[in-house]
A and B are shown apart, each in its own frame.
Chain A
Amino acid sequence: MLEAIAFYVLAAIAIVSAFAVIAARNPVHSVLFLILTFFTAAGLFVLLGAEFLAMLLIVVYVGAVAVLFLFVVMMLDVDFVELKQGFLEYMPIGALVALALLGELGLVASAALSANGAPIALGPAPAPEITNAEAIGRVLYTDYVLVFQLAGLILFVAMIGAIVLTLRHRPGVRKQDIAAQVGRKRSEGVELKDVKPGQGLG
């Protein structure tokens, strides 16, 4: 009974907040609603028994990716009028993407329905005594280790690419060298001068 209540509450919040992401006038509110959507999706994962995935969703998407979104959106000076004008222009492309997503969802749903309620198994189900963190680890680091490493490598290349694109070597910029600062001796920094009265430092 509690599970059913939790499911309906979470599902309702997820749908409403997902709608609010695109309906909100203020882009910062949009991102905040996006965070709420992620969070409720994590809750749904927990209800499905996939608690490890749920936590990963929160750590990666809510804790890191959405923070950066929020960061960027807050700093952008968005012109709302201009934003609204572009809406109709992009409508056909948006509708196309939405249709494709709907079709994919329909395919999955019809496959699930044709299996008469039995879960669609893509591989052997893990033994029940294994926690799902362990189950994911066993598959990810054995059968799919190459794909996993490749995914990491792609992200790494993308990151280096972003750094290379923004890196500019400007000549004459003074940078802090911690080792040089700490390694400086008194003799290098202090010079004693014997100043004669009435003469000053020439």
Chain B
Amino acid sequence: MNPNLDYITWFGIDWPVEVEWALVKTGQILAIMIYLLLTLAFILLFDRKVWAAVQMRKGPNVVGPFGLLQSFADFFKFVFKEIVIPAGANKTVFILAPLMTFVLAFIAWAVIPFANGVVIADLNIGIMYLFAISSLGVYGIIMGGWASNSKYPFLGGLRSAAQMVSYEVSIGFVIITVLLLVGSLNLGDIVENQRDGIWMWHGFRLFNFAEFPSNLIVGITMFTMLGVFFVSALAETNRPPFDLPEAESELVAGYQVEYSSTPYLLFMIGEYLSIVLMCALTSILFLGGWHAPWGPVDHPVIGFIVLGVKMWGVFFLFAMVKAIVPRYRYDQLMRLGWKIFLPTSLVAVVVIGYYVTFVAPRAAEIVAGG
């Protein structure tokens, strides 16, 4: 036995401690995956129900009470269908694309803190990791579009690549404003910075009347950033009104035209999972994470529920936008991203940078001195 390694004894056999660590982590990952997939099943239903309600329809109501089991029925339908691979397709890449979307959508959740201390990997560069993973998300779509070897998917893939790369830039700047206020890239630290109450939430700094004159500037800037982040999140996840990659009136179904059965299901799960991720990210960056509006929540279970409520709230907005707003034209989308959001968020970075460097230390001095 190697004396340099630590061992743990189970069932009379000595195992290296890494085995224990790996088992614990695998268990945590499985738990989060099951939680996410179950949430996803009901979020899909919720999305359709909200959409139906806006159009004064009933929505899915046949499978199970109130249609609660609709998503599970859809799941089995997809799984039991035959997988069709076009003859001219590049088979490896064709299969790889949905897998990539699916896997990337899941691994991003590794750094999301669900409550105080409930996180798989507490990286000190958590937000950079998320940004890196979300910038990879474009590959699933562009690979799927190319590998189908057909015109509509290819055009859809190219469109969405341009769209996602464009909006990532403004998302990056918005994240930087939050990071400036927090001074850390760790998602747990970002939430803890907002622990006192709704007036400390990054989206609602306007209510922080304790530092009166400067709260106006910071509050208005950060509320604008909340809006920019929300709209960019819609564009980044290809949600309506920015679902141009799959604009059915022009491109049939964009990059997914040739996909059916389980590969299509993987695409859809990946897409919805990254939407839910954006909801979680909005809650964590701007809406106080697992802390309640009136004060800190340190209990893991209550924090878990609070963050869940916030995520569903943000998702409700996503669903309402889908139901209400008509689709953008492609040039309007690009104009919004590059000519409006990018300059706005750049100015916001400068304003928040000025505040953090020159105003906040003086305000802290005044509070400490008096």
Contacts and interface: CB of A to CB of B under 8 A. Distances in A.
Q: Do A and B come from one complex?
A: yes
Given A1-B16, A52-B125, A59 B142 contact: no
Contacts of A28: 90, 93, 146
B125 A74 contact: no
Nearest to B162: A71
Contact of B135 (A58, A75, A176): A58
B5 A67 contact: no
B136 A58 contact: yes
Contact of A67 (B124, B165, B331): B165
Interface in A55-82: 55-56, 58-59, 62-64, 67-68, 70-71, 74-75
B168 A176 contact: no
Contacts of B22: 2
Interface in A18-72: 26, 28-29, 32, 35, 42, 51-52, 55-56, 58-59, 62-64, 67-68, 70-71
A29 B162 CA distance: 20
B122 to A, nearest CB: 12
Contacts of A2: 18, 22
Nearest to B169: A64
A67 B357 CA distance: 36
A87 to B, nearest CB: 23
B123 interface: yes
A30 to B, nearest CB: 12
Contacts of A35: 139
Contact of A51 (B93, B125, B139, B154): B125
A131 B139 CA distance: 30
Nearest to A28: B146
A55 B139 contact: no
B143 interface: yes
Given A63-B135, A133-B128, A176 B331 contact: yes
A71 B138 CA distance: 11
Interface of B: 5, 16, 18, 22, 90, 93, 123-125, 128-129, 131-132, 135-136, 138-139, 142-143, 146, 154, 158, 161-162, 165, 168, 185, 331, 335
Interface of A: 1-2, 26, 28-29, 32, 35, 42, 51-52, 55-56, 58-59, 62-64, 67-68, 70-71, 74-75, 131, 133, 176, 178
